[in-house]
Amino acid sequence: MPYKIDYLLRYVSMDTFNNILNNKNKYILELLNDNYVDVKLNIEYLIRYGVSNIDKNMFNLIDDLIVKHSDFINKIREYEKNLTKEEVITLIENI
């Protein structure tokens, strides 16, 4: 079954996209396909939040990005209870 996850190319390079296709399991690819609206919103939120290199972090963050958008924002807010915004950005970029 072909996955319609080419929307990711708007945010990541072709190398990262191919890396995701070749190295992530079928379940993750299906979630990326089925939850594309939430994934797009979560990526765009990270960009607006100030995470600088989505392409570099995308492969490692996929498991966190495939959740509902409201759950994703709640997770970021939980981090902000103990960390500053800059520390949260650093945490996300170094995952």
The answer to whether residue 20 sits within a structural domain is: yes
Look at residue 52 in the predicted model and tell me its pLDDT. 86
The answer to whether residue 16 sits within a structural domain is: yes
Question: Tell me: the pLDDT tens digits for 10-29?
Answer: 999 999 999 998 998 999 99
Which amino acid, one-letter code, is at 10? R
The answer to whether residue 68 sits within a structural domain is: yes
71-90: burial string, b at 16+ Cβ within 10 Å, e else:
ebeeebeeeeeeeeeeebbe
The answer to whether residue 81 sits within a structural domain is: yes
Question: Tell me: the pLDDT tens digits for 71-94?
Answer: 999 999 999 999 999 999 999 888
pLDDT (average), residues 40-63: 90
- Taking the model in full, what pTM does it have? 0.89
pLDDT over 60 (residue 57): yes
The answer to whether residue 1 sits within a structural domain is: no
User: Which contiguous run of DSSP H or E holds residue 86?
Assistant: helix 85-93
Q: State the Cα–Cα distance between residues 33 and 81, nearest whole angstrom.
A: 32
Look at the chain and report how many structural domains it folds into: 1
Q: Which domain holds residue 62?
A: 6-93
